[in-house]
Amino acid sequence: MATRALSHELAEPLSDEDQVVQAMDDASPTKWHLAHTTWFFEAFVLSQFLPGYTRFDDRFEYCFNSYYESVGARHPRPFRGLLTRPSGDAVRAYRAYVDEALETLFSRELPDEAAALVELGINHEQQHQELLLTDILSLFASQPLKPAYRDAAPGEPAGTPDPLTFVDFDGGVFEVGHDGNGFSYDNEGPRHEQLIRPFKLANRCVTNAEWIAFIEDGGYETSALWLADGWNLINAEGWRAPLYYERAEDGYGQMELRGFRPVNPAAPVTHVSYYEADAFARWAGFRLPSEFEWEHASAGLAEQGRTLGSGFLRPQAAPDDAGLTQMFGDVWEWTASAYLPYPGYKPAPGAVGEYNGKFMCNQFVLKGGSCATPEGHIRRTYRNFFYPQQRWQFTGLRLAADA
């Protein structure tokens, strides 16, 4: 119920007009996120495990099913911004109705299968909370008034980044993947052995200052730095900087959830695609780490960082520390690993089996969480995944090299 309440809190600064629009096909309206996460509990928990439950409105399944083919037809994703009906009030009533039914369900003994689906629903809603924020940023960045979702916190540090250093790691055969203790998504297992050769990993994420040096050195104009698909894409789209970057009189600015603000040179660069991250790494003389190198390097580190609960709503400069920093929070870090099943992976039976498995093609793994990731939603084994051209999320990078 705390997770359900947080979704309302995140939507609170928005008008109903804000909540109905989507700025691009990858994004979804806030109202849709609020209704879809509610439909998830209704379709997969209440309809199966609460005797006598009556759906709020049978038509909502068509409107708010996302990609569950086995459930039935659904409204096309690119046109979610056309759903002016049901109204915002109707969606809020829907959430209240489902929350009341969930409370009734929780007052009874919960079968193990139902408890597992509730836990999945909580984590599913947390994913959509991050999407809600990044989709709002996409919407506000497209508007001439450049509105702020929330006001900037006073006294946020800027400055220049400390020089990049590297931490060495020995090679060997290591176990990777989730060990089965506590919640995980099915794509995090089975746990298995992986050969990792000796490598070194940057102590922090790549900063805006370093990215601006890449821009000014002709990084976006040098074909030798780019994968062929990336080179074709940046020229077709006219990309010459990260998403939301704009050149201002006194430097670069970038649209953020706190409005249009000067770029912090010491903060991690964000809103870059896999193609851009890969090109930058090549320009810098390094490479992106594999997801297994990243997971091995993070062993022993606390799974915490500047996530949504920190309240910054944008990446922050790395703290002074001789070891690895920013491994969790600030920005999702692109890896060089294709999003593929682990050895022995089998998707769950039924509709929930569509959650991860069917997307294991043409995408890349990201690790670590971001400034918009809800608290308690980060693990070293967590495998986020996006297509290589996508950059509207809080995505950044960390450099690696062979030892």
Report CA dihedral (59, 60, 64, 69) to the nearest 10 degrees. Answer: -50
Residue 349 pLDDT: 82
Q: If we measure between CA atoms, which residue out of 305, 10, 258 comes closest to residue 154?
A: 258
Peptide bond into 315 cis (omega under 30): no
Angle at 125 between CA 123 and CA 126, to 5 degrees: 65
Residue 355 pLDDT: 85
Residue 74 pLDDT: 94
- In this structure, the chain runs to a length of 403
Q: If we measure between CA atoms, which residue out of 317, 326, 333, 189 comes closest to residue 264?
A: 317
CB 186 within 8 A of CB 347: yes
| CATH code assigned to 2-141 | 1.20.120
Please give the Cα distance from 97 to 30 (Å, whole number).
Answer: 19
Give me the residues of the chain with pLDDT under 50, please.
none
Residue 34 pLDDT: 98
What stretch of H or E contains 137? helix 112-141
Q: Which amino acid is at 199?
A: F
372: exposed, middle or buried (Cβ count in 10 Å: 0-12, 13-18, 19+): buried
Span 173-208, pLDDT tens digits? 999 999 999 999 999 999 999 999 999 999 999 999
Q: Give 128's DSSP letter.
A: H
The ranges assigned to domains in the chain are 2-141, 166-402
Please give the Cα distance from 22 to 136 (Å, whole number).
Answer: 8
Q: Which amino acid is at 97?
A: Y
Span 235-265, pLDDT tens digits? 999 999 999 999 988 899 999 999 999 999 9
Structure tokens, 173: 């055969």
Please give the Cα distance from 276 to 206 (Å, whole number).
Answer: 12
**CA Rg value for the chain:** 21
> Given phi > 0 = left and psi -120 to 50 = alpha, else beta, which region is 376?
left
Residues 6+ apart with CB under 8 A from 222: 283
Residue 354 pLDDT: 83
Packing angle, helices 112-141 and 30-41, rounded to 10: 170
* Secondary-structure class of domain 166-402 per CATH: alpha beta
Residue 198 pLDDT: 98
